[in-house]
Structure 1
Amino acid sequence: MTTPSGHTSAIQASRVIGTEVYNTEGRHIGSIENVMLDKMSNNIMFAVIGFGGFLGIGEKYHAVPWASLDYDPGHNGYVVPFSKEQLEAAPVHDISDLTGDGTRVRDDAYTYYKVPPYWI
């Protein structure tokens, strides 16, 4: 089965992790470090996108609602519909912030990016 944009509706997490991410201006902004799963609702909470840093030092992580990412074969990566300024002003986390249940991070991300929550 395919999504409305023509993509398949299922993908292995191992194929997603490490994929590059670009903004609407075509600028490379980072890569997907992980995906957080919501065990209670069987949904993806958010993608963890690593920005900046070198060899993991100084890197910050953004939680981006999964529904905001769209795979673009031309970039061989995901594109998010956010400007450079929106991404720079987005909530930023240390990797330790993303452990635990993740609901605070999820709620902050969906509120900031104005994405309708899947859990309501």
Structure 2
Amino acid sequence: MTTTTSAHDVISSDRVEGTTVYNTAGEKLGSIDDLMIDKISGQVRYAVMEFGGFLGMGTDRYPIPWNMLKYDTSQDGYVVPLDKAKLEGAPSYAGDRVPDYDETYRSTVDKYYGF
């Protein structure tokens, strides 16, 4: 059995990082700073979004389950079903304090988003 992969089926992480994230109302929430990848499966588990701050200072990072993001070609960005108030209460961390993505932390993030 031969499996073919279209160039549109995969994307370099360099092209994902920096991509704008919008909510369903079209408001800009932030941009993707990093991707967290499962070492065993190789699947992206979380997109870490920068949110808040001013000119990149005081910006916090918010891990969002990857399967919540949907790419919207018309906005050239990702869309999540979140408003700013929901995001402000989400698990987050300062950019220089990346937590261990252990089972406890992943569970906290997943439960917050209903997974």
Q: Normalization by structure 1: what TM-score? A: 0.79
The answer to whether residue 50 in structure 2 is matched with residue 79 in structure 1 is no
Deviations 1:5-64 (A, max 9, x none): xxx442211110000000111110100001011102322120010012234321111000
Identity %: 40
1:33 equivalent in structure 2: 33
* CA–CA separation in structure 2 for the residues paired with 1:26 and 1:55: 21
Secondary structure of the residue that 2:93 maps to in structure 1?
A: coil
One-letter amino acid of the structure 2 residue matched with residue 45 of structure 1: R
SS in 2 for 1:98: coil
- Distance across 2 between alignment mates of 1:105 and 1:56: 25
Residue of structure 2 equivalent to 1:44: 44
SS in 2 for 1:25: coil
Instruction: Output the CA distance in 1 between the equivalents of 2:75 and 2:105.
Output: 28
Structure 2, unpaired ranges of 5+: none
Paired with 1:41 and 1:97, the residues of 2 have a C-alpha distance of 25
- Which residue number corresponds to residue 14 of structure 1? 14
Which structure has the larger Rg? Answer: 2
The alignment of Structure 1 onto Structure 2 pairs a total of residues equal to 109
The residue number in structure 2 matching 1:93 is: 93
Letter in 2 for 1:107: S
Return the TM-score normalized by structure 2. Answer: 0.82
Conservation of the 8 A alpha-carbon contact between 2:93 and 2:99: no
Aligned equivalents of 1:94 and 1:81: distance in 2?
Answer: 23
SS at match of 1:108: helix
> For the structure 1 residues 99 and 89, does the alpha-carbon distance in structure 2 shift closer, same or farther, using more than 3 Å as the test?
closer
Corresponding position of 1:64: 64
Runs in 1 of length 4+ with deviation above 6 angstroms? none
